[in-house]
Structure 1
Amino acid sequence: MADIRTLVEGLHWRQAGPFRGGRSVAVAGHTSQPLTYYFGACSGGVWKTEDGGASWLNVSDGYFRTASVGAVAVAESAPNVVYAGMGEACIRGNVTHGDGVYRSDDAGESWRHLGLESTLHIARVRVHPHNADLVYVAAFGHAFGPHEDRGVYRSADGGATWDKV
């Protein structure tokens, strides 16, 4: 059996970019599009690749009011539907808050704000596998203390309304 050090030393690493993307805690793709991925940067919005990561394009510039993305989800039943939960939830000294949830119905070409502004830090967005309008959001709220908006939210109408569950 090969020594692990030999295997690691044999790997060739390269920077694939994006070069202004920054740290990321969110990534999502779709099984029907194996080369397409989205990632949410902690201070740089949502980025998209359609060539397996060889090139990246920021698809959120001009749409988001804050740059910190904590969660990204692609609807299994509708691969053009992408949700972005704003505000990094990996709490650290220089964490940046967000302003709720955004949705794209055209694979990141445009976005609309769906509310939940006061949730501040969204850790996860999950979309029902058969209904792109049924979405759940895990929100952290204020990073350094109790917060009434901390919890899980559900929307059955694509983000038009939200219920805390």
Structure 2
Amino acid sequence: MAVAGDPDNPMVFYFGACAGGVWKTIDGGVYWRCVSDGYFTSASVGALAVARSDSNVIYAGTGESTIRGDVSYGDGVYGSTDAGRSWTHLGLKETRHIGKICIHPHDPDIVYVAALGDAFGPNEERGVFRSKDGGKTWQKILYRNSDAGAVDISMDPNNPRILFATVWQTRRSFWNLSSGGPGSGIFRSLDGGDTWEELSGLNGLPGGVLGKIGVSVSEAKCGRVYALLEAEGDKIGLYRTDDYGDRWVQISQNRDLMHRPFYYTHVFADPTHADTVYVTNLQMWKSTDGGESFTEVNTPHDDNHDLWIDPLQSQADDRRQ
């Protein structure tokens, strides 16, 4: 499932259900209405993004990347240019499971899709895809192999040429899940996705067998990036860099951040406070010291998948601290 907020109206949110389409609220969650019925031919939604430069533009990626045994696959990407009133299928049908979508902060037609691909077998339509024309055409810009697909991507809003993406080698069957392998890794692009370099095993990041990886670039502090890694032994945990990945430090080995990593492994940098970072797992966790310690955030339900941070609420929290 996925959630995204309107950058211009703090009362407007969109929710993508694991098997129930896209829903919209205009009153802060009091009432929700399904806006994808009649347009989507796939019920499962794995990723949502609303353009900062034009909140009428929304992209939805179908198929969850949280691949439990009962996971549903999707049929690619859908887009709306009228705030969810209508939708158009934009292709990438065989990506099947989409983990994340990010949009250029100044151009709503430039969009990136992190596609896991078929969770149940090898396929070629996986990796990071980029469109420069609002989804009319797509280019595969990061590809590992037919067994490993992209599961997360994060852009620096202050410099949208800087991107971090993670690739996960995994295979789901109805009786087993294999997570990790030589295809997993974390990658960086400094030119908007034209070229990529692998960072795994370099400058403080662990090598060896890696599994699922979450990544989040801080908007509040240039150079800061958080990465949550499923790795071997004591290499598992939260890592941080303050120079866009040239040097990394393991900040936390807290196992509460990494239960069932194949299902979670999501990290979110606060957009207004550099040392505040959130991790969603069996509980929701918040750190205000750059990831060194975490406190539990009480939530109505303890199965936390995704998070949209309201900058106004974040500023209010900072004032109370």
TM-score under structure 2 length normalisation: 0.43
What aligned pairs does 1:56-135 form with structure 2 within 5 A after superposition? 56-135=32-111
Which 10-residue stretch deviates more, 69-78 or 136-145? 136-145
Q: Which residue of 1 aligns with 2:117?
A: 141
Return the alpha-carbon distance in structure 2 between the equivalents of residues 61 and 145 of structure 1. Answer: 29
What aligned pairs does 1:5-20 form with structure 2 within 5 A after superposition? none
Q: Which residue of 2 aligns with 1:163?
A: 139
Return the alpha-carbon distance in structure 2 between the equivalents of residues 132 and 29 of structure 1. Answer: 15
Aligned: 1:44 with 2:37: no
Sequence identity percentage: 64
Find runs of 4+ consecutive structure 1 residues off by over 3 angstroms. Answer: none
Structure 2 counterpart of 1:41, one-letter code: A
Return the alpha-carbon distance in structure 1 between the equivalents of residues 7 and 40 of structure 2. Answer: 27
Q: Which residue of 1 aligns with 2:5?
A: 29
Tell me the alpha carbon deviations over residues 97-135 of structure 1, each in whole angstroms, 9 at most, x when there is no partner: 000000000000000000000000000111100000000
Structure 2 counterpart of 1:80, one-letter code: N
Tell me the alpha carbon deviations over residues 75-102 of structure 1, each in whole angstroms, 9 at most, x when there is no partner: 0000010110000110110000000000
TM-score under structure 1 length normalisation: 0.84
SS at match of 1:118: helix
SS at match of 1:138: strand
1:145, distance to aligned residue in structure 2 (A): 3.5
Tell me the alpha carbon deviations over residues 3-59 of structure 1, each in whole angstroms, 9 at most, x when there is no partner: xxxxxxxxxxxxxxxxxxxxxx20001231100000100100000000000000000
Give unpaired runs (5+ residues) of structure 2: 142-321
Structure 2 counterpart of 1:149, one-letter code: E
1:149, distance to aligned residue in structure 2 (A): 1.3
Return the alpha-carbon distance in structure 1 between the equivalents of residues 7 and 83 of structure 2. Answer: 14
SS at match of 1:80: coil
Structure 2 counterpart of 1:127, one-letter code: I
Which 10-residue stretch deviates more, 139-148 or 41-50? 139-148
Give aligned pairs, total.
Answer: 141
**Bigger Cα Rg:** 2
Q: Which residue of 1 aligns with 2:165?
A: none
